[in-house]
Structures are given as structure tokens and as C-alpha cells.
Structure 1
Amino acid sequence: MDHDRSSGEGVGPQEYTLIKMRVQELHGKLASLAPKVVFLIAATLRPETMHGQTNCWLGPDLNYITIEAKNGDVYVCTKRAARNMAYQGMLRVENKVLPIVEMKGYELMGTKLTAPLTSYKTIYTLPMMTVKEDKGTGVVTSVPSDAPDDFAALIDLKNKPALREKYGITEEMVNVEPVPIIDVPEFGTLISAPSVCQMMGIKSQNDKEKLVEAKEKVYLRGFYEGTLIIGEFKGKKVQEIKKAIQEKLVKAGEAELYQEPEKQIISRSGDECVVALCDQWYLDYGESEWRKQVEQSLSDLDTYHGEVRRNFEATIDWLKGHTCARTYGLGTRLPWDEKWVIESLSDSTIYMAYYTFNLRASGKDLVPNHLTYYLYNHTAIWPTQKEMWPTGIRANGHLLLNSEKMSKSTGIFLTLTDALDKYGADGMRLALANAGDSIEDANFETQVADSGVLRLWTFVELAKELMIEKDTMRSGPNTVNDKMFIAEMNLKIRETEEHYKTLMFKESLRTGFFEYSNLFHQYHLSLTKASEYLAEASHCFRLRLKSHMTSGKGKKGETPTAPQPPSHGIVWVAKTFPKWQSIILTTMHDIYKKNKSLPDNKELSKALGSAPSLKKYMKKVMPFVQAVRERMDKFGESALKDTVEFDECSILEENMDYLQATLDLEGIELKWTEECENERTQEEVVPGEPYLTFFNATCLQLELINPQPHTGLFQAILPVYENDNLAAILNRLKRCERSVKPSMKITFHRFKDPVLGPRVIPTMADILQGTEQISEDEFFSLKGDSIHYTSNGSMTYLGTKILYLVQ
């Protein structure tokens, strides 16, 4: 049962054909088994290829055992395979593995075998290093004409005498050639595996990656397109005669049917699971008429996610009999056979009425079992009442914690109570909604929860500030910006509603909280082309700043010095495109208007190559064309115009405070590129794409002290630049001291005696004793290593400290 598994949920049984290869002479450890008949048994998925057997592979270092079969013969295989056989009624003693002889693979090398269907009377056991103990029986039939792995390993043994000598293999034992058995399109009858190995340059079994690719090519083409060219079924398609050859081998006593899990399955008790043949009651999921009803039910079902629907389709495709009862545990007794208890997954799939018209939410791991049974059972009980069938299933992934699987044993877990105590209900909801929408495992990130709490707190504080300032806000007819703001908000509301309807909570959070909140901060921008320009320009400026701050490579053995953060910047703006670029834009625009699209770059190159004025720029032409194409992806046809539709300098000037804040600069100048001495800047900066350079201006440090008790505000040390005014100092203080809010009124006070004043013990009854307020029309000057203030044309020494008060 899936729910009894610790790992491997959804993994089913894989059927193999066990090929019985009789040992001709009992030597070594096998000699003690005489006079019994001994077989090496190989598990294969391709019984139709047995005509091409040339040898048998064993893992030299693998552990093998001999066990007695039901008919008294003796089988050689791995202990793991024997355990599966024991539970499938294939051994003399059921449900137990009783080894007769144990040995290593190398002890069986060179054993003579008689194998069914092959044209060789005798084949030998040979060493292969890649034989696995956890798949099949540890005994592998070798068909080098059809299997690239077999061909490469055989060639290794032929070409490496030292390898043969190590395992006692003679040249006679490897003196075999691949047998053509299948005619494959492209490869013909000239043996598929050798052909593809030659084509791909595979020279050894160590070319593992190439061998995997070769195997996929040969096996797929051989099985689905190949025709058998040997034996009783000669001339027939391989995929049509696989079952017939299997049945022939089993009937002749030369093979048996065997099953093992497709992948490893570990039970909750820690044991590795096997495929067992049991006396059992089954629900015949997969029965043709029943399956048609379920497929109809699925077609009408809202799965919310395409991957979930594909998983249901895949499950319905392979699901057949399901064991629906067991002899132990709690549950309902099977009415017609009360020694059986109905298994829980089969006893809990008819749900309360609301599940059939609202929704069934569950984990993605239940799609291959529980949820598919849910569809089957409803269609069986109400075959003609479709209104009783499920209408929606929302499957979700598991929940990770900081990208790791939660487990108490590893200490990686978070209880609901602890999470609520730490983040609160709203912070939890935000982090859970952000964890993921698809059926991939959702990831609860504590960092997101922390930042979510901060975002929510900031949002509440913003709302409080806006309410305080409500009476001072303007009123009157809506401007264009107001209308655009309202339209954007309404769009986000509609998008969020749609995401909620489809249970896409991360998308709902994105549009209904993050993007909706961001609209407020964009409100003062132009929401037309000018706003797009500002957003793109500020993004490029941030990338430019990041590049500027990246440490260069230092000398060998030395740690590179991190660049000093710049204080100021210059934004260079171009009035026009260079002449050669204007010609390209005009040409591309004319072609676009004529054809409603642009041709490929080859056609554009021809059109532009005929312009005489572009000849000396030909190396730059196509890179510029490609850059224009990329701008078109963002801005559409407007990217082909050789001018911009707004005043760049006005937009930048109006938003200078925003640019300074986002770049953390003290000042930004605007200049035309024609003023720049750098020719590259003049050539490459174009209209609509300003360029930012940085520099550090001279400054001196000024200490600002808050003498007010109980404010939570103390001192701040800030740089002062030439011609700074109080507004610049105030903005700098707000960035440095987050407790200073926009709604607060700040006044600044200097000491009348800038030398003695800061040294006098302040009087709490008169905290401004010995000071005077600095007026807004004053500005600061730097003279040598001291700061002065200028008022009415006269310059006075300021000192190194001033006071600031919050009202």
C-alpha cells in the first residue's frame, strides 16, 4: 500500500522475463550441487532479442547465491532477486530465502552455459563492471548486436589481454561475433549496436554518457521500428512478437515470469519492499468500460494545473488491478468475505456531498492512487448521474522549509504554533501564499516571513501617515495621472480576483499586494511613455552603480580594494542620434510600416548595405540593428523613431529626488553629451537612453546632536558638501536616521560660540541655551578643513557640531 511506504510512493511492479541458462559443467563451488540441474537466470525486458546472445555477464565483485526452485532445479542470482522470487511462489520454500552456496561473481567466470534461442551451442560467463546488484538478478544476457553496453564491454575484453587474464578468461571465450537479429531503419541489418557505437566514437565501456545516449537510440528504434530477421517470427515487427516469444520460452521451460519494483521502495518499518503474489481481492481499475467513464469524468474535471491533468492521464493509462483489502488493521469488514478488512484508500473515496461541486484539495502524491480511485469510485456508484461526479481537484506539492525537506530527526521543522508566535497570522499567510502555486514543492522561507512582517508594518504605518495628512491633500478634478492610477488599481483588482478563482495564491499576492502597493510609489511618475523611460533609466543607473562598485582584479597575491561609494553623479543626455544611427532607424521604420513587421537580419543587412553614408560604420550597423530589435520587444514601434516623445531633461529634473534616493547619491547633475569630453560617451549615448557617470565630491563631516529627552533620537554624523542647504542636510538625516518621519518638522540650531558651545554641559530646562536657529536661506561652504555658513553675503565659521530638534 502506498501509505505504508516511507519512500517510493506511486512506484509499481516491473515485469521481466527470466532467461534460464543451463550450466554445462559443475566446477568449483557449483560442484557440490551435483547431480541437480543448475541455471544462471538473467532478467531481461527484451526476450525477442535472445536470438543474438553471445555470452553472459556477471559482476566480478557482486555476491551471488544458489537457491532451490519449486521444481527442484537450482538457480544462481543475487539474494535480493531471490527474495522477490520467494514471495512470487517460484522457490521450493515460500516467503523465505535459503541459500545453498554463496560466492563472488569472479568465482563463476568462464562457466560454460547453454542458452535458449542463440545460435551458439556454448556461451561463457564474462566480467562486466557495470552490472548492478539492485536491479534484476545480477545475471545479464549479452546481445552485442542490439545493446551498445554489451558490444563495448565485449570489445574491451577482446582488446585487453590483461583484463582477460585477471579473471581467467581465455581468448576462445571471447572469440564471438555479434549476430544480426533486427532490421532497423537507418542502421539496416548491419547490426545496430556496433553501427551506433562506431558513429558516436564509442571505444570502451568507460564511455558511459555516450553509451546511455546510444542505448536510447538503438532500443527505441529497434523496438518500435525494427523487424526480426531470424527465427520462427522472421519478418514480423519486434513490438508485435515480444509477448509471443516470451510465452514460447515460458511454455518450453526455458524462461519464467518475474516481477520486482520499478524503483526501490522502503516501508515505514525500514525494510526494502518486494513484489509479492498474494491471495487477494482486487478492484479492477483499468477495465475498458469503467476506464472510459473515468476518462469522461477527467475531461469535465477542473484540475487547475496542466501538470496535474497529465499526471491523471498517465495514471489512468497504467492503473489496473488494485488490492482493496487486507487481513489486519482497523477498517470496515468486506461484506462477502469478512476475514478481510477494506484497505483505507479503498474505503475513503466517496466524500461528503460538497466535494462534488466545490472542490477536493489534496497532495500531488495522491494523484497516482487515492485521487484516481476517487474518480473511479464515483463513476462506478453513479454511472449515469454525472452531477454526482467530482468537478474539481486542486493538487499541491509538499511544503519545504528554506528549500529543505522538513524532518524532526534533522531538526529542520517549524510547528504552526511556533510560526504564529514568531510571525503572526498575517505574516504566516503572506509567507505561505508566497511559497508557490504549482504542484512543485512549495518553499516556506523564513526570510520572506520576516520581510513580510516588516512590509505589513510599513504598510500600516504608511496608512496612518496618510490619514494624518489627509486634510492637507489636494482635491479637485482628476488629472491624467490620477486616471491612470485608478485604471492600474482596477486592473490589479481584476487580475487578483482571477488568481483567487484559480487558487493561484502566489499570483494573488503578487498582483493584490506587491504590485498593488507599488502603484502608490509610482503614482507621482508619468504613467505614459515618460514613466517607462524613467523606470528603464533608473534601472540602468542602478546596474551602472553596481558595476562601478564591483572590485577589480588585484595584483597576484593581493586582495583587491573595494571601490569607494560615489557621492555624486552626472547624467548625460543626448539631443539627437548620431547621423548613421538616424539613417538606420528611418530605414527600419519605413520597412516596418510597409510590411507591418521587420524581416530577418539578413534582409535588413542587404537594405542597409546599399546606403553609401553607412559604409564606414558597417561593423557597427548590425549590432545596432539587433539592439533596436531588443528595444522593440519592450517599447514596440516607438523604438524605431529617431526622437523621443517627451522632454528627457524635464522628466529627470522632476524626479531628481527619486533618482538620488534610489542611487543613494548626494547630488546629480544633468548635462548634454555635446559637453562631454569623452568621445565614446558622445557616440554611444542616444535619445531615450541617458548615461550616468560617478565622482566623489569634497566633503567634511558634521555631527548633528538631538538634545531632546525621550525621543529615541541621538546623534548622527553626516557629510557636508559645498553649497549644501538645509534641505540637503534634512534629506541626508532622514536617510541616516529612520526614526525621523516625513510628517515631522525639523529645525537646526548652531552654537553662537562654535568652539566653546559644544563643550558646555547642556541645561535640560533650556536645551537651546547658547544656540540660534539656522535659517533656510543660509547655505554651507567648505574652507580648507572647516565648515562655514554663508548668510547675506558674509561667511561665518560653523564648527563641527550643530543641534536638531523634532516638533
Structure 2
Amino acid sequence: MPPQTLTPSKLRQQFPEFFGTMAYHYMNGPLHPSGHTICGRTVTKVAEILGSDWVGSLVHAPLSHCREGVYIHPMETVLVTKGTGIVAAIPSDSLEGFHQGIKNYGAFKGEIVQVIQAKVQQQLLDSGEAFQYTEPDKREISRSGDECGVALMDQWYLDYGETFWKNTTLEFVENSEAFNIYVQETRNGLRGVLNWLDQWACTRTYGLGYKVPWDSQFLVESLSDSTQYMAYYTVAHKLTDIYGQVPGTLKIPNHLTFFIYIYLAIFLLEYWPKAIRENGHLLLNDQKSTRKYGEDATQITLADAGDGVNNTNFNEQVADATILRLHALREWCEEQVKANPKPNLSPSAGLTLFDKTFANYMNVLAAECCRHYADTNKLQTRSEGGAYLEWQALLLAVIAPPGRSSEVLGRRGTIHNATFPVPRANDPALTVQGEYIRSTTSRITSALAAYEKKAKRKSLDFDPKKPSALNIHTASTFPAWQDDSIDILHESFDGDNQLIDNDSLTRQVLALSEATKAMPFVQTLKKRFLSGEQPDSNFERKLVFDEVLSRGQALSVLKSATGLVRIDIIEGVLWRYQGSQP
């Protein structure tokens, strides 16, 4: 029910039984889904109303002498996250009167307020004008990032405070000969927990877990459900290699204590635990990094930290950037799915040059990604995840499950059971063609930027805001320095197109008159040959693709990337860019 359709006065008239607890429901969030019970009463969501909507309303204040009610006024200094967020008092008098004031009205007239607080509380409970609830003593954040509250619900409890069970466990913990704990602080911690632990809520209503055998509406709470898995270690060495487990200090107040309790209750003496050893956590700036960055960003940053011989470095800047990239990836996936809910990614007729080069590039990157995963070299894998929505999700899932973009795709089942991408064979011609178009775009934008900078210094007649055109010349023959470079490269490869002597190749190229241009040219060709491209066509001075046709098909992209209004391609001219106006 929208707030604007229900005024506070109407709400009081229609639902008086909810009036006294509405503030708590709002300030601390929903207690639990509608239909559950609290203190034996079924909770039903009535409305959501802002606190500011109540200002000026006349409300009933229990035990007040103002029988017609009191008016609600705003108080910015009150802690809205503690209690109900309501102060039924005059702020100027409440500080002293709350502790040392004398009651001058009601059943406890003449007594000190601090002394009768418990009596007044019980009076309100007995009259039904109040109920007890619990709240965390400090701010608690769940693994999902939500702020936690506390609600009293129907619940099953394990009675860890039962006298015989508790005393047996205490004696066992104190027996250093039978139970080795290694560190005295751990024994002290267990002793302290055993002395205060009483009833433990052991069920929940949602999530993963086994159903309670005697009450199927509940699931066994995770900490209570995992107290016997260590029994698996008694046979695990027969099944697979294990490295054991060293629990953290945070498990003393719950998991480790439950573990001891349950083993003593179920197993014979000879199978009781022999030892436990705890450790601390690896902190980042005195904080658990997973709480700061989240699971996915932390795991991707750890992958980025490196798998080689270099020092592993958890870079906070990488973690921050990863969060933004994952968020941007999810947004982009949502936009693409919304624009095209059922994309056809299968090969078909009518694909443009960019469709083909993009699909081929994805195959190249996916194959490289699979190779790095096989070598457990995740630092290289991180930047080669591909861009198809489904492939992106599957490739990311290895490092950061479930690769959050997978949720957007709406696939059935879990991503962990999905088939890993199987890339098709690389088409070297398409790879070279795609690199050629990218390098052409880069050279054009670099030349325009350099000319704009030069025009500012020398006051040339050039305005980048005005429409500009470009002539692209395609040569039918190679310049002399490129011919010489290809000849040297040809001599350095054997009949199986394998590089013979890289050092000799480098010396010959450096001896050329235009070595500064020849060296990057040779390195580019060598990289292409070693990645699978057949060098024969290059040695014969033939391109593996039609240069003029490729540029013609790329005109729209070149215009969009460079901001030029017209691009003309001139064929068959031996032309070299000398830094003049493009």
C-alpha cells in the first residue's frame, strides 16, 4: 500500500493494534516476511510510511498523564538506529530526570526513576502496551551487504547450557593431555564461551541446508549443520589427498564450540577430538579485504596479483577498479539483453567484416584464456575474458563465480554446470585484417592529434571543430626499407616456417639505414608468424586480405572513430606519410 494513500490518522483508526509497534518495524526494516509470527501473533505488512509523515500527529503515550495523547515533534539528535528511534520525553529535562528524577505521577509516584525502570518495563509488558525485542550491540553487516537487525520469531534451540553436557565439555577442554589446543589463549576463549553459551537458535526459514527432521518448515542453521563434517577426515585419506584445516579465531564463539559439544554428545570417547589449532586472519590495513571489496573483486584482484616468481601484490587500486568494471559489465549486459533478448550468435550469411573479425577475435582470446587457465596463469587470463555475454560470464566464473553477468542472461540452472567455451580455429587472415583496421584508426587519430597540437604552437590555419576530410593512399608496392626487412625475415625462417636465429635477425635489421622504422615492422610480422599466420604470402609481398576492400568496409567505423566527415581511398600510389597534413 503506497504511503500517500494512507494518512497517519486513518492508519490509527483502521489498524489500532499495529500503532504501538509501527516505528520499530520501519526503523529496523521488515522483521521477516508477512505471515510469520512474533510473540504468538501473526505479522502482516500494513504500510510503509516515512517518519516525517508522523510529525504533528497526536499519539497515545503509555503511562503519560496526557490522556488525550502527545504530539510528535522531530528530534535530529536522536539515534534512529537504536531502539525505536522515539523519545517520549522533553529533551531539555530528560538527561537528568532519566536517571535521578523523582516520579511524581502514576503507580510509582515518589520513587527514583533509575530504581523503578525495571518495574515500569514489567508494567508495560503486563498491560500489553509494549513487548520486548533485541537488537545488535554494534553494527552488523551480512555477507550480502545488508545491515542486520534482530527479530523474535518461532525458533528451535540447542540447549548447550544443559548442566551435564556443559560440565562434560568443560572438563574435556581443561584436560590438556587428552585435548591439545597448542595456544593457551584458545583454551581461555573456549572456556569463556562455554560459561556463557546457553540456548542457541539452530534453525532458519530460507537458504541452503537440511530440513529439521521433526519440523519441515525450518532448515538447520549453517553453523549447527557443519559440526560433524570433520568426521569425514577419518576416511578422507583413503579417498584423496588433504591438507587439513586450521580454523580462524572468529570460530571460537560458535563453530569450534559446537564442534566439541556435538562430538562429545554423539561419538564414543575414543573418537573425541584430539586437538585443534586456530590461527588469525591475513588482514589488509587491519581489515578483512573481502568485507571491503566483496568476493568477486577480491578474487579477481588476487588473480591479478600474479602466479609467477614475482612478489604477489594485492593492489587496492586494482580492487577498486575491478568493482567499477564488474558493475559496468553487468549494466552493459543488462542493456544488451534488453535490446536483443534472443541474440543469434551462430555463424550465418550476411555477416559484415566486423562481425567476422569480432567473432574470430573472441575465438583467439578464448583459446588463449583456456591455455592460461590450464597453466594456472590467471594474471594473463584476467585481461582476455572475451566480450560475448555468455562467454564473458563463463570465462569469469573460474576466478569470480558466478561471474555476475550470468545472472542477467536468464539461463536455466547454475553456471557451475555450464559447458566451458570451445573456441573454433583461429582465422589468421581475419586476425590480421582486424589488427590492420585498428592500427589504421589509431594512426589517423594520432596524426590528427599531433597536427592539432602543432597548429596551436605555430598558429597554423587549422580548426579541429570544423569538418575535415582525409585521403588514404594504398600502395601497390612496398617501400625499399620494408622490402629489405621482409627479405631479412624470410632468410631467418626455415622451410617449416620456424624462426632459426633471432639474434642474427635483430643484428641484420639494426644494420638497415632506416632501422628505427624497420625494427617495429619486423617485430609485428614475426609476432604474427609465430601466432600461426602463414608467412609465405608476406614473403611473396602479398597481403592475406584485400586492403582496399577492407578500408572500404571500415569507412563508417573510421569516420565515427576519427570525427572526419569524408574519407577517400586512393589506390595504387607509392606514398609515405612524412608528417604533412593528413
TM-score (norm 1): 0.29
From the CA coordinates, give the structure whose radius of gyration is larger.
1
Structure with the bigger percentage of helix: 2
Structure with the bigger percentage of strand: 1
